[in-house]
Structure 1
Amino acid sequence: MTDPEDLVERVRDGELRLHELEDHADHDTAAEARRLLLERETDTELEAIGDYAFPAEAAEPNIENMIGAAQVPMGVVGPVPVSGGAATGDHYLPLATTEGALLASVNRGLGVIRSAGGADARVTKNGMTRAPVFRVAGVAEAAETVEWVNENTEALAEAAESTTSHGELIDVEPYVVGDSVYLRFAYDTKDAMGMNMATIATGEACEIVEAETPADLVALSGNLCSDKKPAAINAVEGRGRSVTADAVIPGELVEERLHTTPEAIAEANTRKNLTGSAKAGSLGFNAHAANVVAAAFLATGQDEAQVVEAANAITTMDARERDDGTTDLYASVSLASLEVGTVGGGTKLPTQAEALEVLGLRGGGDPPGSNADALAEIIAVGALAGELSLLGALSSRHLASAHEDLGR
Structure 2
Amino acid sequence: MVDEVSRDKISEAIEKLKKGELRLSEVDDFVGSKNLGVLVRRLFLEEIRGVSLSSIGSTIIDFEDVVGRNIENPIGAVQIPLGVVGPLRIVGEHASGDFYVPLATSEGALVASISRGAKAITMSGGAFAVVYRDGMTRAPLFRTPSARRAVDLVRWVMDSYEAIKREAESTTRYGKLVSIEPYVAGNNVWLRFRFTTGDAMGMNMVTIAVDRASKYIVENFGDVELVALSGNMCTDKKPAYINAILGRGKSVVAEAIIRRDVAEGVLRASVDDMVDVNNRKNLLGTSLAGGIGLNAHVANVIAAIFIATGQDVAQVVESSIAYTWMEKTRDGDLYASVTLPSLEVGTVGGGTWLPTQREALSLLGVFGPGDPPGVNAIKFAEIVASTALAGEINLVAALASDQLAKAHERLGRKRI
| TM-score, normalising length: structure 2 | 0.96
1:208 CA displacement: 1.3
> What residue in structure 1 maps to residue 53 of structure 2?
46
1:257 to partner: Cα distance? 1.0
> Does 1:4 find its partner at 2:10?
yes
Q: Matches of 1:273 and 1:9 in 2, distance apart? A: 57
Alpha-carbon distance in structure 2 between the residues aligned to 1:78 and 1:162? 43
Q: Tell me if structure 2 keeps the 8 A contact 1:346–1:352.
A: yes
CA RMSD in angstroms comes to: 1.0
Q: 1:210 aligns with which of 211, 218, 231?
A: 218
Q: How many residues are treated as equivalent by the alignment?
A: 404
Q: 1:349 and 2:357 equivalent?
A: no
Q: What is the aligned-residue identity percentage? A: 52
Which of the residues 11, 23, 34 maps onto 2:41? 34
Report SS of the residue matched to 1:193: coil
Distance, in Å, in 2 between the alignment partners of 1:76 and 1:58 is 28
Correspondence for 1:164: 172
The equivalent position to 1:311 in structure 2, one of 314, 320, 323, is: 320
Partner of 1:365: 370
Deviation string 1:205-238 (CA, Å, 9 cap, x unpaired) is 0011112223210100000000000000000000
Match 2:88 to one of 56, 59, 80: 80
Contact 1:300–1:352 (8 Å) recurs in 2: yes
For residue 231 of structure 1, the aligned residue among 240, 263, 274 is 240
Q: CA offset at residue 373 of structure 1?
A: 0.5
Question: Structure 2 residue aligned with 1:175, among 154, 179, 183?
Answer: 183
- 1:219 aligned residue: 228
1:99 alignment partner, one of 95, 100, 107: 107
Cα distance in 2 between the residues matched to 1:193 and 1:22? 30
Is the counterpart of residue 245 in structure 1 residue 254 in structure 2? Answer: yes
Distance 2:13 2:271 in 1: 64
**Structure 2: gaps of 5 or more residues:** none
Structure 1 letter corresponding to 2:168:
A
2:301 and 2:271 map into 1 onto residues whose CA distance is 23
What residue identity is the alignment partner of 1:30?
G
Contact 2:107 2:412 in 1 (8 A): no
Segment of structure 1 superposing worse, 76-85 or 192-201: 76-85
Asked if the contact 1:58/1:349 (under 8 Å) is kept, the reply is no
Deviation at 1:407, TM superposition (A): 4.8
The answer to whether 1:387 aligns with 2:392 is: yes
Matched, 1:198 2:206: yes
> Where in structure 1 do 4 or more consecutive aligned residues deviate above 3 Å?
none
Aligned to 2:160: 152
Give 3-state SS (helix, strand or coil) of 1:187's partner. strand
Cα contact 2:181–2:192 (8 A) shared by 1: yes
Give 2:146's aligned residue.
Answer: 138
Instruction: Choose from 120, 135, 149 the match for 1:127.
Output: 135
Aligned residue number for residue 55 of structure 1: 62
Offset, 1:149: 0.8
Q: How much does 1:30 deviate?
A: 0.2
Write the letter of the residue equivalent to 1:356: L
More deviation in 98-107 or 86-95?
86-95
1:10 Cα deviation after fit:
2.2
> Within 2, Cα distance between the matches of 1:31 and 1:145?
50
Deviation at 1:20, TM superposition (A): 1.3
Q: Which moved more, 1:33-42 or 1:3-12?
A: 3-12
CA contact (8 A) 1:8 1:36 kept: yes
Q: Is the 8 A contact 1:72 1:97 kept in 2?
A: yes
Q: Secondary structure at the match of 1:147?
A: helix
8 Å contact kept, 2:257–2:333: yes
Distance in 1 of aligned mates of 2:98 and 2:264: 25
Q: Residues of 2 paired with 1:93 and 1:6: CA distance?
A: 47
Match of 1:122, SS state, is: strand
1:372-393 residue CA offsets vs partner (Å, 9 max, x unmatched):
1111110111000000000000
Q: How many Å separate the matches in 2 of 1:12 and 1:101?
A: 44
- Determine helix, strand or coil for the equivalent of 1:181: strand
Q: Distance in 2 between matches of 1:407 and 1:86?
A: 35
Report the alpha carbon displacement of residue 261 of structure 1 after superposing the two structures with TM. Answer: 1.1
Amino acid at match of 1:363: G
Q: Say if 1:132 and 1:184, in contact at 8 Å, map to a contact too.
A: yes
Q: CA deviation at 1:16?
A: 1.9
1:326-366 deviations in whole A, cap 9, x for unaligned?
x0100000011110000000001111011111111110001
Asked if the contact 2:326/2:337 (under 8 Å) is kept, the reply is yes
**Structure 1: distance between partners of 2:372 and 2:139:** 28
- 2:266 corresponds in structure 1 to 257
